[in-house]
Structure 1
Amino acid sequence: MRVLICPDKFAGTLTAPAAAQALSEGWHEIAPGDETVLRPLADGGPGFVDVLATVIDGRRVPVSTVDPLGRPVDGEVLVSGGTAYVESAQACGLHLLTEAERDPNRTTSYGLGLLIAAAAEAGAREVIVGLGGSATNDGGAGMLAALGAGPVDVSGYALPYGGGPLITADKLAGTPQLRPISLIAATDVDNPLTGLHGASNVFGPQKGASREDVLRLDAALEHFAGVLEKAFDLEGLATAPGGGAAGGLGAALIALGGRVVSGVALITEAIGLDAELDRADLVITGEGSFDHQSLRGKVAAGVANGARDRGLPCVVVAGRVETGYREAAAQGVTETHSLVDHFGSTEKALAEPRQGLREIAARLAGQWSR
């Protein structure tokens, strides 16, 4: 039997490659003669570079950068030919902060600017930036500052880091100091920069913003959009689809001449997922939380849709499952299994995810293997 194993990361516990390996090991405990094909997945968020590195023949260039609070952190750029892949979460990720440190009024995307500059210096002519899982809401102001074009006030003084101070932005300090490159923003978030469905309203609360903060940040981003439009001779930046990705990093990349593409589509094409689905007998996918958001464009739903279109059974294994059977089945999901149900507690699911995935996969092999 040919089993295609293509999970996303289990946020906070396992990377996508580690989750895929655990599922494969568990399957082979019961059905050692079966073939398991591992194709870990990601969208534009954490794990973007790790997943691409499993299928792209390139070199991983270490980069010293900073986290959302300006503290030193290690990052890397994946370079293949004239293309470089950058993961914004390595510098801007929510996972880099404790819950008490989350404050989008002061978190910065400066570290991403250092990663992009390093990609350009490594000789890339095209830089693909994975966006997702950010702790920032600064509209890319920090990223621009790292490139020599940070916002300044009417007196010409550089603004403090974070989304809050952008309300006082008057102009940019200069033009971005960056070698000629083509920029691509990889994300599956189509939210605009501002408004009811914008970066602040939709994603601000999970980054530590109160209701008052959300209103203040949204106003600040709307004002900053005007500054960017004037600096780059643009219109409609505040409402551009994908502009709200990663706290507004999408908008800043658009302002720099970048275009927005689907992160999941980019990954699935790179790993040849369609061809693997054509050859599979069973598909196993999964992620940390399989919930209502999963069915609206996230990795697991995309895999299940592809399996459904081919008449393949698709099993979802997740940290926890919060979708109903009918709505999951409509997307092509044959059955779901969760680590929380398997262990009987959230605490143990978080403490022993690798063992849990192995045990669930072994049970699935007993059920599905010929």
Structure 2
Amino acid sequence: MRVLICPDKFAGTLSAPEVAEAIVAGWSKPGDDLVRRPLSDGGPGFIEVLAGALGGRRVPVPTVDPLGRPVEGEILLSGATAYVESALACGLHLLSPDERDPNSASSYGLGLLLLAAVEAGASEIVIGLGGSAVNDAGAGMLAALGAPPVDVAGYALPYGGAYLNAAAALGGVPRLRDVSLVAATDVDNPLTGLQGASNVFGPQKGASREDVYRLDAALEQFADVLEKAFDVSDLKNTPGGGAAGGIGAALIALGGRVVSGIGLVSTAIGLDREFDAADLVITGEGSFDHQSLRGKVVAGIAGAARDRGLPCIVVAGRNETGYREAAAAGVTETYSLTEHFGSTETAMKEPARGLRELASRISEQWSRV
């Protein structure tokens, strides 16, 4: 049997290649053909996965984290295209739990990565969006590019989403040299509203309910500023605008087009060919929940498997998705580390062992050998 193994990362524990390796290591049927294709939907691991598929040149770039502290980032150059991973500068994993505060977290570091891509001579920049700690609608990114949000008196605002309620204009023009932008998103949420960046993703970044109301109103205000500055409309409701704390909306305002992150990566690594040859598909991620079915890796893989009539198994750190909802998305069966171990703590400490053990069970149940 030919088994296509194409997981996302398990955030905070294993990278996508490590997840795939653990599943292969645990597979107990030596006669099966195991094909590893680790994936990213635009979030953490975006450059690692694309570099493995495209080759190209990985260029180190000094940047800053959401709190302005120095971190080492990188860009991937492949021909005239530069690939940038927003999580390298804006990622939630860069902050400890008690540091998470979307009121003040900034996307400034992403702007530094974009500047490096421009200076490297790229004519197109593809920005992977996902796993962010910010909720500033790209305001920090724009500041790094030379267009900081300013108040009615013309003074630059402090960094962070909460201060955008005082935004009146941009204090400059972004230094992008007519480079075309592509936003590779892991979600299709709009910028504002009940399904927007603040309401859906703010709490996991440290926002209280009061913070969520404040941030959503601030992004409403900043959306008006962006619409006026770049002559665009309906920025608050455009699908994908809420990606990475609203960075998607800023990229759309800059003329960027939105694409599915999992779709872009799948095309880059030739995943369609692997689907056509597969008998069974295994995918997964750290938390399989309602967000998973809105443009993330699992949704893309399960949908592709369903369209070809292939069984699709999801392995996850934890499973918070109902059976009917998962089945409608194309998921045949779900296994979770927390259920396997009976403990979230053990699942976090020993994910590789758990995946090996689950893979052994799955191979016994599904292999034709």
In structure 2, the residue matched to 1:73 is: 71
Which amino acid in structure 1 is aligned with residue 16 of structure 2?
A
Say which of 92, 100, 104 aligns to 2:90: 92
**Distance in 2 between residues matched to 1:292 and 1:334, nearest whole Å:** 16
| 1:210 counterpart = 2:191 | no
Provide closer, same or farther for how the CA distance between residues 336 and 241 of structure 1 changes in structure 2, counting only shifts above 3 A: closer
Which amino acid in structure 1 is aligned with residue 234 of structure 2?
G
**Distance in 2 between residues matched to 1:226 and 1:329, nearest whole Å:** 40
Residue aligned with 1:311, SS: coil
Which amino acid in structure 2 is aligned with residue 24 of structure 1?
V
Give CA-to-partner distance per residue, 1:226-256, whole Å, 9 cap, x none: 2222222222222222222111111111121
Contact 1:121 1:179 in 2 (8 A): no
Which amino acid in structure 2 is aligned with residue 4 of structure 1?
L
Give CA-to-partner distance per residue, 1:290-336, whole Å, 9 cap, x none: 22333343322321222222222222111122333343333332322
Which amino acid in structure 2 is aligned with residue 69 of structure 1?
L
**Distance in 1 between residues matched to 2:144 and 2:198, nearest whole Å:** 23
| 1:363 counterpart = 2:354 | no
**Distance in 2 between residues matched to 1:296 and 1:233, nearest whole Å:** 29
Structure 2, gaps ≥5 residues long: none
Give CA-to-partner distance per residue, 1:189-210, whole Å, 9 cap, x none: 2222222322222222222222
In structure 1, the residue matched to 2:15 is: 15
Say which of 260, 273, 290 aligns to 2:271: 273
Residue aligned with 1:138, SS: coil
Residue aligned with 1:143, SS: helix
Contact 1:163 1:217 in 2 (8 A): yes
In structure 1, the residue matched to 2:243 is: 245
The alpha-carbon deviation at position 157 of structure 1 amounts to: 2.0
Give CA-to-partner distance per residue, 1:15-64, whole Å, 9 cap, x none: 1111011111211xx22332211111121211111111221121111111
Residue aligned with 1:148, SS: coil
Summarize the alignment of residues 112-127 of structure 1 with structure 2, pairs less than 5 Å apart: 112-127=110-125
In structure 2, the residue matched to 1:57 is: 55
**Distance in 2 between residues matched to 1:129 and 1:8, nearest whole Å:** 18
Provide closer, same or farther for how the CA distance between residues 159 and 323 of structure 1 changes in structure 2, counting only shifts above 3 A: closer
How many residue pairs end up in the alignment? Answer: 368
Which amino acid in structure 2 is aligned with residue 228 of structure 1?
L
**Distance in 2 between residues matched to 1:91 and 1:296, nearest whole Å:** 24
**Distance in 2 between residues matched to 1:244 and 1:51, nearest whole Å:** 24
Summarize the alignment of residues 137-152 of structure 1 with structure 2, pairs less than 5 Å apart: 137-152=135-150
Which moves more between the two structures, 286-295 or 82-91?
286-295
**Distance in 1 between residues matched to 2:211 and 2:323, nearest whole Å:** 37
Summarize the alignment of residues 114-193 of structure 1 with structure 2, pairs less than 5 Å apart: 114-193=112-191
In structure 2, the residue matched to 1:319 is: 317
Provide closer, same or farther for how the CA distance between residues 313 and 225 of structure 1 changes in structure 2, counting only shifts above 3 A: closer
Give CA-to-partner distance per residue, 1:137-174, whole Å, 9 cap, x none: 11111001101111122332221100111122222121
Which amino acid in structure 1 is aligned with residue 227 of structure 2?
E
Which amino acid in structure 2 is aligned with residue 154 of structure 1?
V
**Distance in 1 between residues matched to 2:358 and 2:215, nearest whole Å:** 44
The alpha-carbon deviation at position 279 of structure 1 amounts to: 0.3
Which amino acid in structure 2 is aligned with residue 314 of structure 1?
C
**Distance in 2 between residues matched to 1:324 and 1:229, nearest whole Å:** 39
Which amino acid in structure 1 is aligned with residue 19 of structure 2?
A
Provide closer, same or farther for how the CA distance between residues 319 and 130 of structure 1 changes in structure 2, counting only shifts above 3 A: same
Residue aligned with 1:54, SS: helix
Provide closer, same or farther for how the CA distance between residues 196 and 311 of structure 1 changes in structure 2, counting only shifts above 3 A: closer
**Distance in 1 between residues matched to 2:338 and 2:276, nearest whole Å:** 32
Which amino acid in structure 1 is aligned with residue 21 of structure 2?
Q
In structure 1, the residue matched to 2:344 is: 346
The alpha-carbon deviation at position 112 of structure 1 amounts to: 0.3
In structure 2, the residue matched to 1:230 is: 228
Contact 2:188 2:295 in 1 (8 A): no
The alpha-carbon deviation at position 348 of structure 1 amounts to: 1.0
CA RMSD of aligned residues (A): 1.6
Percent identity between matched residues is: 74
In structure 1, the residue matched to 2:6 is: 6
Contact 2:106 2:134 in 1 (8 A): yes
Which amino acid in structure 2 is aligned with residue 136 of structure 1?
V
| TM superposition score normalised by structure 1 | 0.95
| 1:83 counterpart = 2:81 | yes
In structure 1, the residue matched to 2:36 is: 38
